[in-house]
Amino acid sequence: MIGLLQHVVDALALGSLYALTALGIGLIFGVMRLINFAHGDFIMIGAFSLVVPSSAATSTLLIGAWPAPLMVGGVCFVVIALALATERLAFRPVRRADPSVLLITSFALSFFLQHAVLAVHGGRAKSANIWPHLMEPILIGGVRVPQLQLITIVVTLVLLVVLVVFLRRTPMGIAMRAASEDFLTARLLGIRANRVIATAFAISGLLAAVVSLLYVAQTSVLSFHMGVPLVLFAFVATVVGGMGSLTGAVVGGFVVGIGSVFFQVVLPAGWRSNRDVWVYALVLLILLLRPSGLVKSKSIEEKV
Amino acid sequence: MSGSRLRSLLEAYSTPVLLSSILSLVVVVVWMNASGVLAQTVTDALIRVVLVVGLYIFVGNSGVLAFGHIAFTMIGAYATAWLTLSTFKKSFALQLPAILAEHQYPVFPSAIAASSLAAVVALIVGIPIMRLSGISAAIATLAVLGMFHTFYNNWGPWTMGAATLPGVPLYVDMWVALGWVVFAIFVAFIYQRSRYGLALRATREDEFGARAAGISIPRQRLIAFVISAFFMGLGGVLQAHFLGSIAVKNFWLSLTFISLAMLIIGGQRSLTGAVVGASVISAITEVLRLVENGIEVGGTTISLPPGSQELGIALVMLLVLIFRPSGITGGRELRLRLSRRARGA
């Protein structure tokens, strides 16, 4: 029973990270039909902003050495600035192109960002210990739960609530939802395309920054391809949840996260290295049973 | 055969004839003039052309993106290793069933068998997946790649797991690669002009119209998927016998991305685009690599800092996409006009 509760917390914490990442991808997909593979590199660069850029083997904390509120603000600033810059320089010029061109543009951007970091920081993984005290467990009803996992879950819930309020109650949020439904009509009604898309990128950057902090706090490891597994599972999650639906992205993130922990627990020891085979099989199964995802979005349905 | 029949035949097949001739010309020029290093580079580029043409057969004709094709490349590469490694090496590295462990098969039938295995796997996974549309299909193929990647990475007795499997016989040189490239180009062209290819291209242009005309979209996509997987597998076979070793980690996202990028940058809607994309990106990569190592211009050596090759290629890709979103060829085919009307015009 106690073991079960620990697994539940693990599953929810991993699901939270995937859900936040999937949400960052889903927001951009909603407004411009771009699947942004470079989102993982936003997370990666957020993490690297914690340390001094150098190719030395040992890392020195830069933003990571600041007091917590400044550190959070600093990382958010860096990643949001990066997200806005990529929108302006790389994605805006190809905005009208085919979705596959947008996707390949994000691949190329991802490749560029990874190798830029590789050139500056070198290929070896670095360590960045932020908030080590968060790894100490606390006791809840006789169960030792790492604080960080609880914080991850709480932060995710708070961000989800804030995002829902933003999308439903503020003019910009409503404009963004309108743009996701039907961009052309939204523009005809006077919604400014550039501003809506830039805002979506800023929020996406903010979500990426939060994921970098939570992820680094947990693993303490920085490497230039650390964003890849996150973005891969988050990408799968947005599709499983239902492409074009933000609720779907969150649901998909939790499904993939909970699925991973579930298989980790139930598979016999010898099979555990093959865990991801089962996670991908689950994804395939969901897609075959519900091709448009768990949460169906009206706007994405193809019209005759 | 009369002159005009020959002429119209040549005109009909001018695209693959021209593409093959240009690549052959490059190979001959390199063979006559250059060092072994350049020949290696050209071989590598030709193998990329096989992969990108393989990808094009499905992605280009159907208009559906696929992220999982590198799984077939990996299947082909390992299958040819199981067949062609010497029995001594097999007994050392792998635990295979007797029919594989106790024989060493000749390379050509092995190449066909290994590529066919990739095609059979594509047939099995394709039957359910080809019913999906658009982005769901793309993600489903990505899930297939994820499954095979993880599985091969842990399948010690057959793949040596995450370790590199060495000792694959080396026989692929520029000429062998060229031969297979020409074969791939002709098959891709014959397919795209066949009624199956035309039906699939119709579904790409207008899904509902094609369906109304009685075309079964899943079936047409499946046919292309299987042919495409054969050539992806063949690309893996060639790579294995060119490098002499294979590792699961090389058949993952970077190869997926670079092959897709080559196709899209060349122009995903034409065979010419596939060939041009693979050749141009390979050529630019090589030039950047040379410059990175230092190149002499007018007595002074210019060299770029390490890592600039990857940054440069990413920048070139971004610039092409920004300025020519439909690719270098814009979806047009290279063709020759010989008919009287065209000559008169």
Q: What percent of chain A has pLDDT over 90?
A: 42
Instruction: Give the distance from CA B71 to its chain's centroid.
Output: 12
CB contact under 8 A, B135 and A98: no
Tens-place pLDDT, residues B38-53: 899 999 999 999 999 9
Tokens 């693959």 -> residue: B16
C-beta atoms of A284 and B154 within 8 A: no
A150-164, A238-252, B221-235, B308-322: which has the highest mean pLDDT? B221-235
Residue from B130, B154, B203, B289 to probe the interface with A (highest A Cβ count within 10 Å): B154
A3-25 pLDDT, tens digit per residue, is 788 888 889 999 999 999 999 99
Q: Taking CB atoms and an 8 Å cutoff, what residues of chain B touch A111?
A: 257, 310, 313-314, 317
Q: Is B303 a residue whose pLDDT tops 80? A: no
Residue B19 in tokens: 């593409």
Q: Do A104 and B253 touch (CB under 8 A)?
A: no
Residue to substitute from A32, A107, A289, A303, interface B, most B β-carbons within 10 A: A107
pLDDT confidence bin for B340, thresholds 50/70/90: low
B95 touches A: beta carbon within 8 Å: no
Cβ-defined contact of A119 to B307 (cutoff 8 Å): yes
Q: Which residues contact A288 (CB under 8 A, 6 or more apart)?
A: B128, B129, B131, B132, B140
Residues B45-78: tens digit of each pLDDT = 999 999 999 999 999 999 998 999 999 999 999 9
pLDDT for B345 equals 36
pLDDT of residue A220: 87
Q: Token digits for B6?
A: 């020959």
Nearest to B150 among A119, A236, A277 (CB): A277
Residue A294 tokens read as 């768990």
Interface test with B, best of A25, A104, A233 (most B CBs within 10 A): A104
Q: For A254-302, how does the pLDDT look when each residue is reduced to its tens digit (9 = 90+)?
A: 999 999 999 988 888 877 788 889 889 988 898 888 888 888 766 555 5
pLDDT over threshold 90, residue A119: no
The CA-atom distances, in angstroms, between A266 and each of A7, A114, A269 are 11, 35, 9
**Amino acid symbol at B231:** F
Tell me if B167 sits within 8 A of B89, measured CB to CB.
yes
Q: Which residues pair with B323 in a beta bridge?
A: none
Of the CA atoms within 13 Å of residue B191, those in its CB half-sphere come to 27
Question: Nearest 5°: CA angle at B246, between B243 and B250?
Answer: 100
DSSP-assigned states of every residue in A74-106: HHHHHHHHHHHHHIIIIIGGGTTS-HHHHHHHH
Q: What is the pLDDT of residue A243?
A: 79
DSSP annotation of A189: T
Note which residues in 56-115 of chain A have CB less than 8 A from chain B. Answer: 90, 93-94, 96-98, 100-101, 103-105, 107-112, 115
CA distance B101 to B267: 44
A229 CA to chain B: closest CA distance, Å? 10
